[in-house]
Structure formats: structure tokens, C-alpha cells
Amino acid sequence: MVEVIKSYNSKGWSPATSTNYSFKDETGQIWVTKSGIDKSIISVEDFITVSDHGESVGEYSNVKPSAETLIHCVLYELFPETKFILHSHGPFPVLVSIKLQNEFSVEGYEIQKGFPEVSSHVTKTVIPVISNNQDMTYFKQELSYRKSQLNNKCFIIKKHGTYAWGTTLFEAKRHLETLDYLCQCEFLNTK
């Protein structure tokens, strides 16, 4: 996980201490990144345990978790099979989202097959776009309401970034990178 975060940082996907990441261990405990960590030098010590409601717990109860921890908790609740959640502030999803309302839709790209429910490029894939908000309870409401649209295990937050998840780190990576690549293609194509 730490190696993935560092590689994403080197792509420019987590500038200025932004983004957050989490995983569930074999006991079902959620581990999330601390608030305000420089992702170019992140280490395993920068993950802390949080409750299902996003409060730091155990030996980390005095440590502040990432500001967006509740989004992770909501995703674990909505999709209980999830083990890894990745977040990106990559510029292409942010740029492409400026003109989008509610959804990002693509068709005809080979890489769409990187999403879990797509087996052919001749498919229209729709990824939800959610407005940005500093109130994390807004995301809880919005993600719960739009759960049926989250079947590709990722979404975009407008002018903010992307979230993707999976039952393995490999799967979560594939979803995040597929979405980023599609945003890049669409942005450069319509520029």
C-alpha cells in the first residue's frame, strides 16, 4: 500500500499532503492514513485505527485521522466485501469534472474492461459524479442514495478527485487507474 501511495504521489496525484487511503485487516479493523501526511515520505506508521464511524481508536485515539475518513467508513459499510480504498487528486478527473453534472459517461474504450462489470469496449460505462462538500455527512447521504450506480467501484468528486475500492489492492488500483486514464482521454479529446 505504501509503495502504491508513493508511486501515485510521483505521478502528481497527491500534492500538498492531500488524499487518503485505507484498508481493512484480517480482523475487520479499518486502518486509515493520518491527517496532513506528505505522501512522498509516507510510511506504515502513518496508518491509524478508526471506528466504523471514523473516530480514531485504541492507541491512536489522540491522533487525527484524515479529514475524509468518513467517506472510507461509508464505503466499507455499503460494500462490506471491500478491503482497500484509494483516493486521488489527479488533475485529469478534476479537470474533466468541471463540465460534468451527476455522471461521467464513456463508450468504446478498450480500457473500460478494467472496471468490474465491463467485458467489452462496446458498452456505455457511467461513473457517478458527486458535488464536493466539507460536510462528510453529505457524502454518507449521497453515496447511500446512489449505491446502485457505484457498481464499477469508483466515483468522482467534482473539482476534487476520485475514489476507488476493491477486495484486493490490485483490484482497487485497477479501478482507480482505469478511471484516471479515461478522464485523461476524455479531457484531452475535448480540449
Length of the chain (residues): 191
Question: Toward Zn ion, which CB reaches closer, 68 or 118?
Answer: 68
Phi and psi angles of residue 96, each rounded to the nearest 5 degrees, phi first: -70, -30
Q: Report the residue number whose CB is nearest to Zn ion.
A: 161
Which residue's CB is nearer to Zn ion, number 72 or number 174? Answer: 72
**Least Å from the CB of residue 54 to Zn ion:** 15
Binding mask 139-178 for Zn ion (x = CB under 5 A): ----------------------x-----------------
Cβ proximity of 117 and 130 under 8 Å: no
Report, in Å, the least distance between residue 31 CB and Zn ion. Answer: 18
Nearer to Zn ion, 17 or 151 (CB): 17
Nearer to Zn ion, 36 or 58 (CB): 36
Q: How far is the CB of 161 from Zn ion (least distance, A)?
A: 5
For 50, phi and psi rounded to 5 degrees? -130, 155
The kind and range of the H/E element at 141 are helix 136-145
- Dihedral, 30, 34, 35, 36 alpha carbons, nearest 10: -150
Q: Residue 180 Cβ, how far from Zn ion at the closest point, in Å?
A: 14
Nearest of 115, 142, 111 to residue 126 by alpha carbon: 115
The 10 Å CB-count burial string (b at 16+, else e) for 55-75 is ebbeebeeeebbebbbbbbbb
- Smallest distance from Zn ion to CB 160, Å: 6
Number of residues counted as binding Zn ion (CB under 5 A): 1
If the CB atoms of residues 84 and 118 are measured against Zn ion, the closer one turns out to be 84
Can you give the binding site for Zn ion, defined by CB under 5 A?
161
